[in-house]
Amino acid sequence: MQHRKIAFIGAGNMAHAIIAGLVSHGYPASMITVCSPTPVRRDKIAQQYGIISTSDNVVAAQQADVIVLAVKPQMMAEVCQALQHSVDFSQKLVLTIAAGIPAQRYHDYLAQSLQLIRIMPNTPSLVGKGVSGLFAEENINAEDKHFAEQLMQSVGSVIWCEQEQEINNIIAITGSSPAYFFLFMESMQQEAEKLGYSPTQARELILNAAEGAVELAKSQSETSFATLREQVTSKGGTTAMALAQFYDQGLPQTVANAMQSAISRAEEME
Ligand code: NAD
């Protein structure tokens, strides 16, 4: 990966995850700066990875080639407006991981011509198993796209969105979906506990079953999910009875509705 000076504005969970991924992939710590007004988190990350820590967003942004905007969406306007008059963005690449802020908004906040890429990561990035949707504006060159792609590959896999609104599809498919799977596992755990298993035993059984299902599906990449399901389902057997309940209660349609609701909410938030 090409080495450029990176400033992370925001020292939260996501910035931490990406910094950890970069450093573990051999990115030079001396080329990474983390900025946040609150020293505790920032300094902890800096000490852990040997990177530079500061409370001064402006200086960090001025000195960086790549600026990663990693603050909460509600802080973004204030953070950008504070950089507006002090930082020349003409030679810099701006990456934003904030949910629900369209690219045009950054042009308004920063009032300069920008090289901007929107990134929608998900929480498994915290364990290096993330999926990130990336959208680059038209003026972004191949080198900058490649850099952003490699940056996010340090915490998982990436998919490019051709149109900006596709980011909202990525939110429904990968951004929010860890919660869908957690709800499913939570429901299974509740029933397993009613059957007499301790919370720890139930959790372990369900995690192992989920992990096994994922590994099985990955090992048979040519086999559809439908076929994999059929392979576990004998006619008239126990799995068939369980699945009949899911179909009777309309699970496939419920999942579709849930994903559409996530997309609608993402559109509303823009
Ligand atoms: P977080 O609350 O953990 O971190 C936010 C950080 O911003 C904190 O370190 C805070 O000190 C810092 N901050 C606040 N004001 C600041 C300022 N003026 N200048 C510099 N830093 C400032 O948030 P997070 O979960 O890491 O999320 C960060 C961004 O990532 C959000 O915009 C969120 O939408 C996006 N995102 C998060 C996830 C996720 O799963 N956590 C997924 C996708 C996108």
Residue 56 identity (one-letter amino acid): D
The CA 13 to ligand 1 mean position distance, Å, reads 7
10 lines ligand 1 (CB under 6 A): yes
Is there a contact between 7 and 61 (Cβ–Cβ < 8 Å)? yes
Q: Give me 91's structure tokens.
A: 């030679």
Q: Which residue has the CA at smallest separation from atom 10 of ligand 1?
A: 10
pLDDT tens by residue, 231-249: 999 999 999 999 999 999 9
Ligand 1: centre distance to CA 218 (Å): 32
Could you tell me the pTM of the whole model?
A: 0.93
Q: Report CA(53)–ligand 1 centroid distance (Å).
A: 16
Residue 193 CB neighbours (<10 A): 14
Q: Judge contact between 111 and 87, C-beta under 8 A.
A: no
Q: How far is the CA of 11 from the centre of ligand 1 (A)?
A: 7
Distance, CA of 228 to CA of 218 (rounded, Å): 11
Whether the complex's predicted ipTM surpasses the cut of 0.90 = yes
Q: Whose CA is nearest to atom 19 of ligand 1?
A: 36
- Are 117 and 136 in contact by the 8 Å Cβ rule? The answer is yes
Concatenating the DSSP letter of every residue in 58-125 gives HHHHHH-SEEEE-S-GGGHHHHHHHHHTT---TT-EEEE--TT--HHHHHHHH-S--EEEEEE--GGG
CA torsion sign for 226, 227, 231, 237 is: positive
Residue 54's identity, in one-letter code, is T
Residue from 33, 35, 42, 71 to probe ligand 1 pocket by mutation (most atoms less than 8 Å from CB) = 71
- Specify the pLDDT at position 270: 84
In whole angstroms, give the CA distance from residue 194 to residue 236.
25
Cα separation, 165 vs 102, in Å, equals 9
Instruction: Tell me the best of 8, 13, 14, 152 to mutate to test the pocket of ligand 1, counting ligand atoms within 8 Å of each CB and taking the most.
Output: 14
pLDDT value at residue 17: 95
- For residue 14, report the distance from its CA to the centre of ligand 1, in Å: 7
- Mean pLDDT in consecutive groups of 10 residues from the start of the chain, 270 residues: 96 96 96 95 96 97 98 96 95 95 95 95 95 97 97 98 96 97 98 98 98 97 98 96 98 98 93
Q: From CA 225, how far away is CA 252, in angstroms rounded?
A: 13
Of the candidates 132, 25, 43, 24, which has an alpha carbon nearest to the alpha carbon of residue 33?
Answer: 43
55 touches ligand 1 (CB under 6 Å)? no
CA of 94 to the centre of ligand 1 (A): 16
Q: Are 8 and 69 in contact (CB under 8 A)?
A: no
